[in-house]
Amino acid sequence: MDRTDDRQPHRGATVDNGRMIHFHPDTQTLIEYTAGSLPESQALCIATHLEFCVSCKDECHSMLKIGSHLFAASEEPHLVDLVTERSATRQQAIDQRVIDNVLLHIDNPPAPHSAHTADGADLPPTTDHALFPTGFPQSIRKLMPDGVPGLKWKNLGPRIRVAKLLRLEASREIALHQLLAGGVVSNHDHSGREITVVLSGSFSDHYGQYHPGDFLVKEPGQTHCPTASEDRPCVCLSVCDAPVKFTGFFTRLLNPLVALQHRL
């Protein structure tokens, strides 16, 4: 994954009253996602983006179909004996089922499983509106067994708070960040790659303005100062390889605490 793609907005990829999604994963990242080679936490960000962006979802479909055709074209039964041919046919059928399953997953992200009582009766599923607001991405729900009310928010400042989600890898932090309306995050650098998907509201920095569905990648050396819009809070999904580093004269004193929180 190199960086956020700077393609023009996709026609038809709309969200929030027709607003276009401007920031997407680059093509190489989508290829790695469809191939299943991304780390789970990064794949989670892609899956979340696909719930907003029809165009990128269609692109993943196309990549899988191309891969399927290339696999089929590479088969040369006349060069192998009958046993090998039968083995290849079975493998092709298995691979096609895998492709079909991935396509199904892209179109229909898995809904959270229903819980069960001791006698086997179903409890209300986690899609209950009491647990998740309408439109909350399905891809993230599996990391929130108690829903939004069960999140443990920690204040990082007067207008920003963070709630860590279940880890998929030991080295990467997955969290939701909420920036109150008009809130500003002090200027900071990145010790590692940071991937962000906007879930609701909007924020801006000197690189651009970001709305629901936008997918951003920040690399070490890229500093910014996110500022939420004045009309409503902004909530984002983020995956961080390493803690951020505040660069201000006073805020840099917080860096040891931020690093400690990342390890917990």
Digit-coded pLDDT (tens) for 24-37: 999 999 999 999 99
In a domain, 136, yes or no: no
Which pLDDT value is given to residue 189?
Answer: 67
> Hey, how many other C-beta atoms are within 10 angstroms of the C-beta on 137?
20
Residue whose C-alpha is closest to residue 205's, from 234, 176, 231: 234
* Radius of gyration of the chain, Cα coordinates, nearest whole angstrom: 21
The answer to whether residues 80 and 153 belong to one domain is no
Identify the CATH number of the domain in which residue 212 sits: 2.60.120.10
Q: pLDDT under 70 in the chain at which residues?
A: 1-19, 68-129, 188-191, 242-264
Q: 41 in a domain, yes or no?
A: yes
Domain stops at, among 88, 107, 126 = 107
- Answer whether residue 204 is part of any domain: yes
Boundaries of domain holding 154? 146-263
Residues 181 and 256 in one domain: yes
Domain membership of residue 178 (yes or no) is yes
Same domain, 174 and 259: yes
Per the domain annotation, does 126 fall within a domain?
A: no
What pLDDT score was predicted for residue 166? 84
Packing angle, helices 27-35 and 40-52, rounded to 10: 110
- Look at residue 44 in the predicted model and tell me its pLDDT: 96
User: Who contacts 102 (Cβ-Cβ below 8 Å, separation ≥6)?
Assistant: 34, 36, 64
State whether 158 and 256 are in the same domain. yes
pTM of this structure: 0.69
Identify whether residues 58 and 159 lie together within a single domain.
no
Q: What is the pLDDT of residue 52?
A: 94
Q: How many CA atoms lie within 13 A of 216 on its CB side?
A: 25
- The pLDDT score that the predictor gives to residue 72 is 62
232 and 157 in a single domain? The answer is: yes
CATH number for the domain harbouring residue 42: 1.10.10
Residues 74 and 154 in one domain: no
Task: Identify whether residues 53 and 157 lie together within a single domain.
Answer: no
Do both 86 and 191 map to the same domain?
Answer: no
Pick from 186, 116, 125, 195: which is nearest to 157 by CA? 186
In a domain, 51, yes or no: yes
Provide the residue type at 138 as one letter.
Q
Q: Is residue 100 part of a domain?
A: yes
**Boundary of a domain, candidates 56, 88, 107:** 107
Q: How many domains does the chain have?
A: 2
Task: Please tell me the predicted confidence (pLDDT) of residue 184.
Answer: 81
Same domain, 93 and 156: no
